[in-house]
């Protein structure tokens, strides 16, 4: 009698595809963008990528060891997380950034929830969001060759012209994996090998573009739309982040719902949000809804689907979704169009009110070409050397009813605020007395930094003529020109004082002397 053979339940063959293959496919798909990133940003980008991957793998390895679990690093999923995270980081960040990010992504988002397949949101993105919140300034400093500059989207928002081709190839500034071309190439590869399905990328990109076109304020400006797609994280998000199988819906219908919601949310954040990051948060939020989407989109099997007799099967879900999106879009755009004029009027009125507030004697405000030229000559660069990151934005001349100059309004900003830029209008009488300040952009911490907007702080500048205002600790000021800081908000207070000093300096040098 020969030996007994293995028995098992059918099927007795298996596809060659393993979890490791799936992960390696993703790594392969990310290579073009990685290569572009390293080529463009240089050696430092490569270091960031390698450190991020090493930290991710090591974290998982140590977690498995510590908890006595089977070693899971051979499935390569940690490498994917580390690589994805690194590609979402700005170049030249200190190395503790990728380490902390990978640690958070792997340890908290993945391992603590049960490891591969059990994380409730995309680990790499959770790592990025953790870093964005904890190290906001580092994460928003984009440097190429050691020089920090704006990202294409920031440039675009500021109204500067941006090269589409450069942005598409990833030769502008941005995160390491900012090459939309490279990402697209990888995404198409994944589509071909079946690593991802078309539903999510297509629905994300289409809904995102549609929303930007309707509400982005530039209409169907193809150049602008393409820049919005090529710059920023939407391509990365659509092909690599949103499609993370663990945190996206299973069924085709669910994937469409998810993709449309995600695209719209990302566009809303980008158009109306203040944070530079729109796609990451949109994906993280949509990840939270995946179990719900999955539950409502369990496919009806064979024999239970309704078929129209004779006619072709119509994808009702997809059509319904499109109709809803369209109706919502048209309704929203209608409201926006109706209110657009009013909003502009009100913004103008608010501006005028702020001028009036700081320059009470004037009844009419005009630009002076000579002064505007002087402001333009500053090129939007930091003003002077003694005022931190202060900028002079514009100068308006206030005149009385008979056309005599009664004062000037200088719009100045400081980039040193706790929560980004603070912009204010500083009113100056012709003799150099400050007649008042009023904030036009103030996003400081509520209850602390925001108190600089209160009269108690603002009024300290009113009616004072000084070459330079000096900031003291709360209660320390005694003479005119000495300012009591807001208690607990030294940074905000100092930013305001610096901006006012910049305005005074500009007034003395360029208006009084230059003018006379």
Cα distance between residue 237 and residue 434, in whole Å: 49
User: Quick one: which of 60, 75, 444, 505 contacts another protein (CB under 8 A)?
Assistant: 75
User: Quick one: which of 245, 334, 480, 514 contacts another protein (CB under 8 A)?
Assistant: 245
> Is position 21 an interface residue for another protein (rule: CB under 8 A)?
yes
Cα distance between residue 506 and residue 453, in whole Å: 23
Query: Residues 60, 127: contact at Cβ < 8 Å?
Result: no
Residue entry with tokens 């939007």: 380
Least distance between another protein and beta carbon 315 (Å):
13
Cα distance between residue 162 and residue 264, in whole Å: 24
The phi, psi pair for 146, rounded to 5°, reads 80, -5
> Is position 191 an interface residue for another protein (rule: CB under 8 A)?
no
Strand partners, 482: 470
User: Quick one: which of 44, 141, 166, 197 contacts another protein (CB under 8 A)?
Assistant: 197
For Cα atoms 471, 472, 474, give the angle at the middle one, nearest 5 degrees.
125
User: Quick one: which of 159, 303, 341, 447 contacts another protein (CB under 8 A)?
Assistant: 303
> Is position 187 an interface residue for another protein (rule: CB under 8 A)?
no
Nearer to another protein, 4 or 338 (CB): 4
> Is position 300 an interface residue for another protein (rule: CB under 8 A)?
yes
User: Quick one: which of 298, 327, 343, 349 contacts another protein (CB under 8 A)?
Assistant: 298
> Is position 299 an interface residue for another protein (rule: CB under 8 A)?
yes
Strand spans (E) along 76-153: 143-144, 147-148
Cα distance between residue 293 and residue 286, in whole Å: 10
Strand spans (E) along 103-210: 143-144, 147-148
Q: How many helices (H) and strands (E) does the chain have?
A: 19, 9
Strand spans (E) along 313-432: 364-366, 390-399, 405-417, 420-429
Stretch that binds another protein, among 127-135, 247-255, 363-371, 472-480 (CB under 8 A): 247-255
> Is position 116 an interface residue for another protein (rule: CB under 8 A)?
yes
Nearer to another protein, 96 or 198 (CB): 198
> Is position 71 an interface residue for another protein (rule: CB under 8 A)?
no
User: Quick one: which of 301, 311, 447, 475 contacts another protein (CB under 8 A)?
Assistant: 301
Query: Residues 434, 410: contact at Cβ < 8 Å?
Result: no
User: Quick one: which of 52, 59, 72, 498 contacts another protein (CB under 8 A)?
Assistant: 72
Stretch that binds another protein, among 7-15, 217-225, 392-400, 402-410 (CB under 8 A): 7-15
Is the preceding omega at residue 325 within 30 degrees of 0, hence cis?
Answer: no
Q: Which residues bind another protein (CB under 8 A)?
A: 1-2, 4-15, 17-19, 21-22, 72, 75, 114-118, 194, 197, 245-246, 248, 250-251, 294, 298-305, 307
């Amino acid at each position: 009698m020969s030996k007994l053979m293995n028995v098992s339940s059918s099927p007795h063959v298996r596809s060659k595809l393993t979890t490791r293959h799936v992960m390696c496919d993703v790594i392969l798909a990310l290579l073009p963008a990685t290569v572009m990133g390293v080529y463009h940003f240089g050696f430092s980008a490569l270091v960031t990528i390698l450190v991020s991957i090493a930290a991710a793998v090591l974290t998982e390895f140590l977690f498995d060891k510590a908890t006595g679990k089977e070693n899971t690093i051979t499935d390569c999923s940690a490498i994917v997380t580390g690589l994805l995270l690194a590609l979402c980081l700005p170049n030249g960040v200190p190395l503790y950034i990728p380490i902390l990010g990978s640690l958070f992504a792997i340890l908290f988002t993945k391992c603590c929830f049960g490891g591969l397949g059990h994380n409730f949101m995309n680990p790499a993105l959770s790592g990025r969001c953790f870093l964005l919140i904890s190290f906001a300034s580092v994460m928003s400093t984009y440097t190429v060759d050691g020089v920090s500059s704006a990202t294409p989207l920031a440039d675009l928002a500021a109204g500067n012209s941006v090269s589409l081709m450069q942005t598409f190839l990833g030769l502008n500034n941005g995160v390491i994996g900012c090459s939309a071309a490279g990402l697209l190439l990888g995404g198409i590869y994944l589509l071909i090998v079946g690593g991802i399905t078309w539903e999510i990328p297509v629905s994300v990109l289409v809904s995102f573009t549609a929303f930007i076109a309707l509400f982005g304020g530039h209409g169907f400006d193809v150049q602008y739309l393409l820049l919005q797609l090529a710059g920023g994280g939407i391509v990365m998000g659509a092909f690599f982040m949103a499609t993370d199988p663990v945190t996206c819906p299973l069924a085709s219908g669910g994937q469409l719902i998810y993709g449309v919601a995600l695209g719209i949310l990302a566009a809303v954040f980008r158009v109306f949000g203040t944070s530079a990051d729109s796609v990451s948060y949109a994906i993280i939020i949509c990840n939270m809804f995946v179990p719900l989407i999955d539950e409502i989109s369990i496919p009806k099997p064979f024999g239970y689907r309704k078929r129209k007799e004779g006619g072709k099967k119509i994808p009702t879900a997809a059509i319904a979704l499109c109709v809803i999106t369209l109706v919502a879009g048209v309704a929203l755009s209608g409201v926006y169009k109706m209110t657009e004029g009013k909003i502009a009027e009100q913004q103008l009125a608010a501006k005028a009110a702020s001028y009036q507030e700081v320059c009470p004697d004037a009844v009419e405000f005009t630009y002076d070409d000579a002064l505007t030229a002087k402001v333009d000559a500053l090129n939007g660069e930091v003003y002077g050397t003694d005022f931190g990151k202060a900028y002079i934005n514009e100068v308006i001349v206030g005149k009385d009813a008979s056309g005599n100059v009664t004062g000037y309004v200088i719009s100045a900003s400081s980039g040193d605020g706790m929560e980004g830029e603070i912009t204010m209008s500083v009113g100056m009488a012709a003799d150099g007395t400050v007649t008042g300040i009023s904030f036009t952009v103030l996003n400081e911490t509520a209850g602390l930094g925001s108190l600089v907007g209160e009269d108690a702080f603002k009024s300290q500048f009113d009616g004072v003529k000084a070459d330079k205002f000096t900031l003291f600790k709360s209660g320390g000021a005694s003479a005119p020109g000495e300012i009591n800081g807001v208690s607990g908000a030294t940074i905000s207070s100092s930013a305001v004082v610096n901006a006012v000093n910049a305005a005074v300096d500009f007034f003395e040098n360029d208006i009084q002397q230059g003018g006379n």
